[in-house]
Structure 1
């Protein structure tokens, strides 16, 4: 009989497990009419269990109410009534004595339905226990009322225990599956969240213009962001083999190493500026925010570097410094020129009077030459620092250039220099202050003449660009300017001429900037210098 019990329980466990296992391999979206389909399947299970009824000592044992009880507890009256109806039909087909079977079925169905509505807030396991207790009470009452084998109490106990084993086994299988399903769902959600988070971080890391670098406590690099490749020019495979100190400027390496040691020891946030080597040989300045990251043991195991290219910011700072310097020069110029010009006029007047009275000599001429040079410097200072009335007019830039060339032609002929002006046939109109733009051309042409002591040719060209600008270029055949000094051209008091003041080109820069234009230099030693000026064209109708 124990073997028969074991076979029945095993088959019941297998039939309960089949939908659970199948459900694990398919999408867990809710099925339409789910309680109905499970009720029909559980009814089929109850039918099979009736067919497997154990006959022993003239008594019958079966598990048909185990699936009924489980479906009621987990899915409610709809599935439970379907299962119970199929189980009753199976019982009536294989045995006589229908009255107690039908009576018991009606009482059980009503009781299970009532328990479902009263115990809705309970967990399925507790609801199963309450439902089984009700089933036991109903079974005892029905057997007493209808005098079913009253002389064998052991049969009733054994039957109830047999059903209980089926219910416990089914509950364990269902709860195990449910817990595994919930765990798997949480795990899937966690994986999904991790994937989404990883995708977001990858999207940020792979598309940011900042450099993201992770260094461990042995100063080995564990992660390079792809931006290293675009900003430094090294392929990823080469970067992975390089050490960080290989691409840091030697002058910055010591300070960088000390900051690293301090962060690992003191666990403090640091910021740093250092230069990294580009593959093409140049150095790029970066500003880094260095964040220590602690491990599980509470010690710093990694440092995350987020670095930003500050080359453009450095240029802006230099431009601001230059602008501030220019502003200071402007403020000083008016005072200095005023204080110098008054005594200068007096000295010059007396020197000229002495020359008139005593006749010209080398000392007088030298004094007057130097005084004129001082006067020129003070005039340039005044033009730089003193506010001037500006009257903007529409002017043909070619006429201004031709007029300037005409003014300087005698000086050019004395130095064996020829001007060659290549211009458009049609006028090139700009909106400008004529005297200021002429001053720019005078300064530039004079510099070109002074750069060619042995004579030569100055090529001047003017044309319109497709972007709506006037382009003026001046090319000389002079000594040229070293490329490493080109960026300093236009700074206050910076000059390469022995007797230069360094103010002429600075004034040119100021005037061009006021006219919303730009000025650029290209030069090579012993090959001459080219100056390119751009000025916006006058709007039509002006």
Structure 2
């Protein structure tokens, strides 16, 4: 027992019962219990409010009131201390009613012994402390569960979702009722990934932290890290802690694009220097060769020299285009609204849009978001993406979606299409110079677009799904207003 005496309040209108209980407690252990008496319901309620007792002995019959009324009052208090109900012999229904109302135990008057009373009090105090420990743990868990920035999902033995914290609901764009209808596999984009994850849980119980691709309620892709553990082996409950690393992966990808762009620019300058000198010598030699009398009279010789000159000129043009698409460019900056700039690009693409019967859906933020930009160059960058989107869509069935939003200190523009999409293996090379899937393309349009945006301290990335279309997302710094 605790060194501190246990304070007991007895609410009973029979003084004889109070003296009996006093004697029994004294027999158990003098000084271990301190018993106080409230002889009426009203005095009992007043004593409850002092919050100085550890356990209550409550008689069922208290004049016009009952011990059940006391239980109901205690249930409304912040600290719901244990109650032992004192009932008459054979009052089984009352005993059941008392337990259902929250009593920890009941004792039948006339059958109370010192051992029985001591055991009942000890049980009530221990049970109360145990419940408080559980409640404290639940409060801590609830605080972590509710306030965690990571996504937390609980699943049962069949891997059905049985709970999800607010962060999971916000990130995955489900309400509580919707997510509780899902199986864990419904969160994965890839069936192969979901099968691997669920298999690891079945076989290992704790598969460790791995990277997967999730989808939101709107089928938006999220890159996540998942840690899964068995929370309750008996009940077969699994805890999944999920970290959304989509933005982190995107930033890494953008950094890689910038590094690749810088390297490409250096290579382009080296190529230009090393190739142009031999080309110039070839062109000079061909020019002198063509002035020879026997060459002028030889049609075959002129045909071949023309081919040499034409291809040397073509090589020189490609080198020039490569240099233009990868070098730092001079900008003439001013403040423009991002909606204003994309509308100008749409106007330049109007003929292509009409010819291909492309429907344009605008979801533009209001008021417009101001960015510092070289109007001509940014409009060209937007136009390149719009033209690519038009060419990716089936005429008469295409839908071009233009969306602008404010995201912290960035203005974001999303240009989406419902075209053929871009295969996963081609996405990584999309901005590489001379990489193109078009029969007559040079493969420098998106390289040039990326160059313009990087020079504006902006970024560009693409999300695509084969057969469903692509979305190019452009981010530009918002103008800092004075």
TM-score by length of 1: 0.45
Query: Radius of gyration: which is bigger?
Result: 1
Higher helix share: 1
TM-score by length of 2: 0.50
